[in-house]
Amino acid sequence: MKQVVFKMKLKHGFEAEYRKRHEEIWPELVTLLKQSGIKNYSIFFDKETDTLIAVQYIDASIIANLQENPVMIKWWEHMADLMETNPDKSPVVVDLENVFSMP
């Protein structure tokens, strides 16, 4: 199991709508993520900076190309008005380096 941590940027003032859309997350998206090897996925919000911190645990034996999946593309389009995005509507993601872990 591999831990992946990254940050994304929420546009200011959209926290409530972001939460609402995730409370109503599409079942087909959850199924896709699980089938793609994501075993655990949490997103945290830093109100001071409008930064989202995502933590995923991924089964490294499963290789998936989510960025080409129609469900993922549709979700990105659904969320694009709330977040900083790339030209393809995927969120701008910055990987975070683990500098300490307590055993």
DSSP string for residues in 66-95: GGG-HHHHHHHHHHTTTB-B-TTSPBP-EE
Domains of the chain: 2-95 (3.30.70.100)
| The Cα angle at residue 64 between residues 34 and 37, in degrees rounded to 5 | 30
Confidence of residue 23 (pLDDT cuts 50, 70, 90): very high
- In this prediction, residue 82 carries a pLDDT of 98
- Beta strand 94-95 with 38-46 is unpaired
Query: Where do we find the tokens 């830093």?
Result: 46
Express each pLDDT in 31-53 by its tens digit. Answer: 999 999 998 999 999 999 999 99
- Give the rounded percent of residues in the chain with a pLDDT score beyond 70: 99
Express each pLDDT in 51-62 by its tens digit. Answer: 999 999 999 788
Provide the annotated active-site residues: 22
